[in-house]
Amino acid sequence: LAVPLVRVRRAGAVREISALLLVPGDVALVEAGNFISADGRVVESAGLQVQESALTGESEPILKVAEDEVFRGTFVTAGRGEAVVTATGMRTELGRIATMIQKVKTTVTPLQKRLDHLARRLAAAALALVGVIFLLGLWRGDELRLLFLTAVSIGVAAVPEGLPAVVTIALALGAQRMLRRKVLIRKLSAVETLGSVSVICTDKTGTLTENRMTVEVLQAPDGGAEFGVMLAGAALCSDVAGAVGDPTEIAMVAAAEKAGFLKAELDRAMPRVAEVGFSSERKRMTTVHRKPVEAGVLIAAAGGAEYLVCTKGAVDGLLGLSVAVWVGGKAEPMSGEWRDRLAKQNAALAARGMRVLAVAFRGVDSLEAMDEFEQGLTFAGMVGIADPLRAEAAGAMDKCRAAGIRPVMITGDHPLTAASIGAQLGLDTRRVVTGAELEKMSVAELEGIVGTVQVYARVSPEHKLKIVTALQARGAVVAMTGDGVNDAPALRKADIGVAMGKSGTDVAKEAADMVLLDDSFASIVAAVGEGRAIYDNIRKFIRYILATNSGEIWVMVIAPFLGMPLPLLPLQILWMNLVTDGLPALALGVEPAEADTMQRAPVDAAESVFARGLGRHVIWVGLLMTLLSLGVGYWYFRAGDPKWQTLLFTTMTFAQMAHIMAIRSERRWLFEVGLFSNLPLLGAVALTVGLQFALVYVPFLQGIFKTRALGFGEVGLAVGLSLVLFFAVEAEKKLRG
């Protein structure tokens, strides 16, 4: 799923194939944001710039012209080009040094780090405890061999050896569940960080909208119905091959074709001789074409000149570059009046939530002064492009708000377009901040507003980085989406970098922590829900295992003071740790998300494992378990009943099962959650109880575990006592409110 797709020309048609299927001789089409997936020789270059730091360490992009070599592992930062594949796989330059590159990096999540720390401390405490018990036993004159075994068993009881494994399994299962929700996790740590996300910054196009663009309005400067030059210019100034390309351009080319201007014919009549590709920073694109020999609308536009320059892009930008307006088949000087009129047309379309693009042109005689092409243009008109909101977007926004997460929309489009779309999604559009405003703000000013502003417009990728940085400075945990090459720094900086699976560039995906396979905002929200559920489950597991272990330790430590011999045999303790700690605890990892997972505020990323009453819970539940099991054991012991140890052991095991059933939900009681809503857990508990009965009644096992058959009333007693624990834990939820 993480292998990039490559556009190749095969049998005369352009197709997208997996990079794995490239073969020498393929002609690959690359553009800004693509990874180079094989070594090759450039055959065509339109300002093709490649960043080769993976091989050379040099981060400055290098201009590649025809006959230059390009290498696998590098990526295109600007321009467009074609290259013939010369080597693939291990035969590439990168393949040769693969051993140096493919260093295995394991990521340890913050939680895993915290748990490692916890485990080390527990181990130290256990060691100390074991020493004390050992010495106590010596002093009482216990048998050395038994004493040694006991000390070791307590050590085993104290260390939650399953913890790291279960945490990793929970994270990995979570990543798998997310994949079903169209979210590909690239870094395991993202699963858990997701649970703490407090702000989601999202692009508009494609994430909140469908990226299914259609030209809805054609707007000639004079309001008339003459669009020939504009449409033909737009078709020429687009990189659409068949149905492959940028949706904005596909829409414009389709509109042109509907009016009879076929792109293929135009391209043939007026071959492209130079170009400056689209970038989110400039928000426009320019191509230069040779003048046609036959008559056509564009002959008039080019006038007497040799070449025709076509520019399309954001209206505000193009207005500033235009000195004339194309009306009634000729150029009129751009007066202040025209300027106002065009700006109003732009605003009117943008206010309807449309993306507005203008087309402008000029004739030039030589290709020398390329830098000056985008000046002195003639404004040909504009189009309003509609892009429907995704059906699930508004619902996902509501979910976000309910979950205490602030959604923020960041778009390259016009502020009015942004405001219109934002309002439809229920975002606060009272203040829309533009990239230009953002640039003028000081860091402090920016930090002052990021807490409330929900819509940013006319933003360039570098502004995204500023926004993330400011949000993080205010303590937010930020998820940020991106698709372009230049979004990579912001994606890296964000706590969760989110790349688009369909429209995203390889570079953005590489920088991201997760990839949205369906590009949808709703999937981010779903992933946050999963992340929260996983963190909850890990906490439940810790809650269960630490309470259980502390109960066992207390029993071992207190019993000698009551004048009792070893209350639990080493084998019995090992049994509890392997069977009762193992399977049921693993099954907690698949506990379904609680109903209110997305109705509460995100957890603080810095909070301790023991936060929110977990530490207290572990202590009192451990003590209650001790009181119940040691209590009943002591009572039978005092009465001289030889079954005292079996009863103590069985009560302990049952109490642990009662505990795990009670902590399935942190807030609701078991029968609200549904007894059967986690069948693996129910199965594990049933199996454990069954095995415990086998230990108590099967003669062979009785011999190994030194147990005696319990009477009906005694089993009832063990069950009853564990129910006491069950209801006590349930009552704790009510008391906590």
* Region of 212-220, 375-383, 405-413, 682-690 interacting with ligand ATP (CB under 6 A): 405-413
* Region of 19-27, 172-180, 399-407, 409-417 interacting with ligand ATP (CB under 6 A): 409-417
Tell me the sheet residues that pair with 407: 200
Binding mask 122-161 for ligand ATP (x = CB under 6 A): ----------------------------------------
**Is 289 a binder of ligand ATP (CB under 6 A)?**
no
- One of 26, 39, 203, 487 is an active-site residue; which one? 203
* Region of 48-56, 100-108, 307-315, 641-649 interacting with ligand ATP (CB under 6 A): 307-315
For residues 203 and 536, the answer to whether their CB atoms sit within 8 Å is no
**Is 275 a binder of ligand ATP (CB under 6 A)?**
no
Neighbours of 613 (CB within 10 A): 13
Among positions 26, 31, 142, 246, the unique one binding ligand ATP when judged by CB under 6 A: 246
Burial tier of 702 (Cβ tally within 10 Å: 0-12, 13-18, 19+): middle
* Region of 28-36, 277-285, 562-570, 599-607 interacting with ligand ATP (CB under 6 A): 277-285
Q: Give the closest residue to 132 by CA, choosing from 158, 107, 109.
A: 158
* Minimum CB distance to ligand ATP smaller for 284 or for 664: 284
Among positions 156, 285, 354, 396, the unique one binding ligand ATP when judged by CB under 6 A: 285
Structure letter (DSSP) for residue 418:
H
* Region of 47-55, 190-198, 275-283, 505-513 interacting with ligand ATP (CB under 6 A): 275-283
Q: What is the torsional sign of CA 222, 342, 213, 314?
A: positive
- Residues 6+ positions from 438 with CB-CB distance below 8 Å: 446, 456, 459, 463, 466, 467
Among positions 411, 486, 629, 645, the unique one binding ligand ATP when judged by CB under 6 A: 411
Among positions 64, 263, 283, 493, the unique one binding ligand ATP when judged by CB under 6 A: 283
Kindly state the number of chain residues that form the binding site for ligand ATP, as judged by CB under 6 A. 21
Q: Give the closest residue to 257 by CA, choosing from 294, 214, 295, 299.
A: 214
Among positions 198, 205, 537, 650, the unique one binding ligand ATP when judged by CB under 6 A: 205
303: alpha, beta or left? (left if phi > 0; alpha if psi -120 to 50): left
* Region of 407-415, 493-501, 517-525, 714-722 interacting with ligand ATP (CB under 6 A): 407-415
Nearest-approach distance from CB 63 to ligand ATP, in angstroms: 22
Nearest-approach distance from CB 167 to ligand ATP, in angstroms: 36
The structure tokens 């259609």 sit at 214
Among positions 64, 72, 80, 284, the unique one binding ligand ATP when judged by CB under 6 A: 284
Nearest-approach distance from CB 247 to ligand ATP, in angstroms: 9
Q: What's the rounded Cα separation, in Å, for the pair 168 and 40?
A: 41
Nearest-approach distance from CB 204 to ligand ATP, in angstroms: 3
Hey, what amino acid is at 39? D
For residues 174 and 476, the answer to whether their CB atoms sit within 8 Å is no
* Minimum CB distance to ligand ATP smaller for 460 or for 656: 460
CA 378 to chain centre: 44
203 in catalytic set = yes
Tell me the sheet residues that pair with 63: 49
Nearest-approach distance from CB 30 to ligand ATP, in angstroms: 17
Tell me the sheet residues that pair with 333: 324
Nearest-approach distance from CB 733 to ligand ATP, in angstroms: 44
Task: Give the CB-nearest residue to ligand ATP.
Answer: 412
Q: How far is CA 430 from CA 369, 404, 426, 452, 501, in A?
A: 44, 20, 11, 10, 32
Q: What's the rounded Cα separation, in Å, for the pair 77 and 112?
A: 37
* Minimum CB distance to ligand ATP smaller for 249 or for 530: 249
The structure tokens 């609680």 sit at 594
Nearest-approach distance from CB 55 to ligand ATP, in angstroms: 30
* Minimum CB distance to ligand ATP smaller for 32 or for 632: 32
Q: What's the rounded Cα separation, in Å, for the pair 573 and 555?
A: 11
Q: What's the rounded Cα separation, in Å, for the pair 563 and 565?
A: 7
* Minimum CB distance to ligand ATP smaller for 109 or for 211: 211
Among positions 249, 374, 437, 519, the unique one binding ligand ATP when judged by CB under 6 A: 249
Among positions 77, 150, 219, 248, the unique one binding ligand ATP when judged by CB under 6 A: 248
Binding mask 309-348 for ligand ATP (x = CB under 6 A): ---xxx----------------------------------
Binding mask 517-556 for ligand ATP (x = CB under 6 A): ----------------------------------------
Neighbours of 539 (CB within 10 A): 20
Q: Is 658 helix (H, G, I), strand (E, B) or coil?
A: helix
40-68: b (≥16 Cβ within 10 Å) or e: bebeebbbbbbbbebeeeeeebeebeeeb
**Is 167 a binder of ligand ATP (CB under 6 A)?**
no
* Minimum CB distance to ligand ATP smaller for 261 or for 278: 278
**Is 357 a binder of ligand ATP (CB under 6 A)?**
yes
For residues 28 and 6, the answer to whether their CB atoms sit within 8 Å is yes
Q: What's the rounded Cα separation, in Å, for the pair 686 and 523?
A: 36
Q: Is 416 helix (H, G, I), strand (E, B) or coil?
A: helix
Q: What's the rounded Cα separation, in Å, for the pair 282 and 52?
A: 24
* Minimum CB distance to ligand ATP smaller for 316 or for 552: 316
Binding mask 707-736 for ligand ATP (x = CB under 6 A): ------------------------------
Q: What is the torsional sign of CA 367, 372, 376, 377?
A: positive
Among positions 80, 177, 181, 204, the unique one binding ligand ATP when judged by CB under 6 A: 204
731-736: long-range contacts, CB 8 A cutoff, minimum separation 24: 732/617, 733/665, 733/666, 733/667, 733/668, 733/669, 734/669, 736/613
Nearest-approach distance from CB 252 to ligand ATP, in angstroms: 8
**Longest CA pairwise span in the chain (Å):** 117
CA dihedral 184, 187, 191, 196 (to 10 degrees): -120
Q: What's the rounded Cα separation, in Å, for the pair 33 and 511?
A: 12
- Interaction residues for ligand ATP, span 442-471 (CB under 6 A): none
* Region of 155-163, 246-254, 373-381, 426-434 interacting with ligand ATP (CB under 6 A): 246-254
**Is 203 a binder of ligand ATP (CB under 6 A)?**
yes
Nearest-approach distance from CB 298 to ligand ATP, in angstroms: 18
Hey, what amino acid is at 231? L
- C-alpha distance across the termini of the chain, in Å: 44
Nearest-approach distance from CB 284 to ligand ATP, in angstroms: 5
* Region of 244-252, 472-480, 524-532, 575-583 interacting with ligand ATP (CB under 6 A): 244-252
Nearest-approach distance from CB 507 to ligand ATP, in angstroms: 15
**Is 413 a binder of ligand ATP (CB under 6 A)?**
yes
**Beta strands at 432-434 and 455-457: parallel, antiparallel or unpaired:** parallel
* Region of 187-195, 199-207, 601-609, 685-693 interacting with ligand ATP (CB under 6 A): 199-207
- Interaction residues for ligand ATP, span 634-653 (CB under 6 A): none
DSSP letters, 240-291, are -BTTBS-HHHHHHHHHHHHTT--HHHHHHHS-EEEEE---TTT-EEEEEEEP
**Is 355 a binder of ligand ATP (CB under 6 A)?**
yes
Q: What's the rounded Cα separation, in Å, for the pair 438 and 435?
A: 5
- Interaction residues for ligand ATP, span 557-586 (CB under 6 A): none
Q: H/E element holding 258?
A: helix 247-258
Chain residues binding ligand ATP by CB under 6 A are: 203-206, 246, 248-249, 278, 280, 283-285, 312-314, 355, 357, 410-413
Catalytic residues: 203
